[in-house]
Amino acid sequence: MLARSAEGLYWLGRHVERTEDLCRLLLEQMGTLVDRPVREINFGWRRIYGTLGRRPPGPAVGVTESDDDYALADSYTLADDLTFERTNPGSVLKSFSNGRENARQMRHCISGEMWTCLNLAWLRLGARRIEDIWKAAPESFYADLAREMNLFAGVADTTLYRDDGRRFLQLGRLVERAQFTTALLAAHLDGVRSYGETADSEWSSLLRICLAFDIYKHRYGVEIRPARVLDLLVDDPRLPRSLCRAVDAAAETLGAIALGPGPSGAVRRLAGDIASAVHRPWPAAPSLDDHAERLRRLAGECLRLHDLVMAAHVDYDPNGAPVR
């Protein structure tokens, strides 16, 4: 398929996944605002910004790097920054509008049902601003948008022809998911390390963000143990959004994509290496620092995977490329 189309589909997958991930982060945080202590609220904001690798709009609201200062920034401002701020490349609106723009440019490569699904969500979003959703229940805004992104994935699954186009879309989702999961877990562990003792509710909220809370309870009961949480979110291939499932599926998808003129072999090897690294047994009784370090390494490898995919199939030098 046309290299630029493949790139567009790949980014469509990434942006849709990113929008959904952001919505789940913020949905959970909105719930925290309702009945949790200030400390947990701060922990939540810190985790979100850590996941995105960004600083909150501190100067505007007087936030310093002090742990407590997230409390000074009112949640309204932070939610606005993360949801509607167009200059924030990691905001929900920016991610979603990027995805919709990818879809608009690639409408001939996706099904009409997929386009309609995204466009309806876009129309529903309209010109909404933070004050509009804050007055009503902001949770419903994030829950609805996350559901629409889920719907898009389901519609794609049932309407898209199983060729390389679909594989690039899928690959984009999986690479984004792997990057998000490693970043989220690393940010969570950073927060735990900074705050010292953590409440069960913070680990519970981590599970809910990863759609794993009910599964954890069914599997392990109500007692929250951090090691078990990490085992489930990282290593359990039966958990739909576990890290190992994302990297396994990415490696499998890459294996099915026809070889490109660029470093295709290196891409497949790296995807396999990442999967192996995730599956490799943890050292006995690892500390949270060990976990954090390992996740940071994986995050770096996932970034490299993205670059190699582009080099293999999209940004290759045409002068040396074979004629098919």
Structure tokens at 299: 């995050």
> Read out DSSP for 59-116?
HHHT--SSGGGGGTS-HHHHHHHHHT-TT-TTSHHHHHHHHHHHHHHTTTTS-HHHHH
Residue that has been written with the tokens 């599956």 in this structure: 279
Of 25-33, 111-119, 198-206, 218-226: span binding other proteins (CB under 8 A): 111-119
Which 229-268 residues touch other proteins, going by CB under 8 A? 257-261
116: contact with other proteins by CB under 8 A: yes
104: contact with other proteins by CB under 8 A: yes
Alpha-carbon distance of 113 to 278, in angstroms, equals 36
Residues contacting residue 257 through CB under 8 Å, at least 6 positions apart: 164, 167, 168, 171, 313
Draw the binding track, 175-214, toward other proteins (x: CB under 8 A; -: no contact).
----------------------------------------
Count of residues of this chain found to bind other proteins when the rule CB under 8 A is applied = 32
Structure tokens at 164: 């390389």
CB of 80 to other proteins, least distance (A): 25
126: contact with other proteins by CB under 8 A: no
Nearer of residues 105 and 201 to other proteins, judged by Cβ: 105
115: contact with other proteins by CB under 8 A: yes
User: What 8-state DSSP symbol labels residue 1?
Assistant: -
Phi, psi of 73 (to 5 degrees): -80, 120
What residues line the site for other proteins (CB under 8 A)?
1-6, 101, 104-105, 107-108, 112, 115-116, 119-120, 123, 164, 168, 257-261, 313-314, 316, 318, 321-324
